[in-house]
Structure 1
């Protein structure tokens, strides 16, 4: 009886084992088919459209009108010439030192080298007549006195040379009969040129 029981029990266990093996295999197959990992589809990038060459012909340019601003005056600005900024070229011309008016009966004219003493020499004229034939400019003021006539009294300083450092440079002052300065200026002239000042007695 016990042998039959164990025999029946053993057969049952064998059948249960076989059934379990089949069911496991079947479930794995189903699981595998349902949960397969699929790769995402790769999207292709769109290529940029090629840039077309823009071509113009002569007719296109004829259609373009010049841009004009109405209501503006004509531009008459003149660009300064290079020589007008060149100190050496500026010195190669006569220099106008202006006009000074006074009621004084006399005037004292004093001048000296403006930079450093380099051998500058001048000739001085009063109303076109030489009053100083040759003056060597120094660091000390020197000059002459004049009696002013009514009206124009013209004084010209002519550069005899340029000294060791061109151009001929000097500073001068003019005093009235009270000792007051009525004019003060400088000249920068090349050899052969003149600096002119006019004293007008009222």
Structure 2
């Protein structure tokens, strides 16, 4: 019996120790100090801003490069021509050609020809290298990359690499061609 009484007493003391008095009816809110006083508004001082003068462009400098008489440069037309990527000699039996989008990956598409025969009708260039391996014929092996579009950002741009059968780089470069134009590599097998 003493144990039960002792337990009840401990429980009642612990419950009263955790009780909160803030929520009793005797609670009174604290009033602010400036109740009934007027607050004076302060206006910021005037700032003198510098006078803004209208922009008057200076004379545009002239380009000092010489344009040949028969060659007219039209802005936006620079890439609208075929591009020669070079002639390369090799003794290799095969060649591996790899290519990828060289600039902004914007959906550039190409068609690939080997000796004027289509070997890949449509390739979408992305950031990773794609390619193919060819068996080289004795003499000239012509590889053409035709731009099927210019993606979202003109022109059609790509980086290419040519490896011989030993894994040595024979050629590496980039092309920038317009829609319908070709970039050409010539591999000369000796």
- Answer whether TM exceeds 0.5 for this pair: yes
Report Cα offsets for 1:160-197 as digits up to 9, x if no partner. 00100000000000000000100001100010000001
SS in structure 1 at match of 2:127:
coil
Q: Does 1:161 align with 2:149?
A: yes
What is the CA-CA distance between 1:83 and the residue it aligns to?
4.6
Task: Establish whether residue 127 from structure 1 lines up as the match of residue 115 from structure 2.
Answer: yes
- Where structure 2 has 5 or more consecutive residues not aligned to the other structure, the ranges are 1-64
Aligned residue among 68, 83, 87 for 1:99: 87
Following the alignment from structure 1 to structure 2, what is the Cα–Cα distance between the partners of residues 93 and 188? 9
- TM-score under structure 1 normalisation? 0.59
- The reply on whether 1:80 has 2:80 as its aligned counterpart is no
Deviations, residues 61-82 of structure 1 (Å, cap 9, x unaligned) = xxxxxxxxxxxxxxxxx93158
Instruction: Give me the whole-angstrom Cα distance separating, in 1, the residues matched to 2:73 and 2:137.
Output: 37
TM-score normalised over the length of structure 2: 0.63
**Which structure dedicates a bigger proportion of its chain to helix?**
1
2:137 corresponds to 1:149: yes
Q: Which residue does 1:139 correspond to in 2?
A: 127
Give yes or no for contact 1:83–1:90 (8 Å, CA) kept in 2: no
Q: Which runs of 4+ in 1 moved over 6 A?
A: none
Q: Could you tell me which residue of structure 1 aligns to residue 187 of structure 2?
A: 199
Deviations 1:34-60 (A, max 9, x none): xxxxxxxxxxxxxxxxxxxxxxxxxxx
Aligned residue number for residue 163 of structure 2: 175
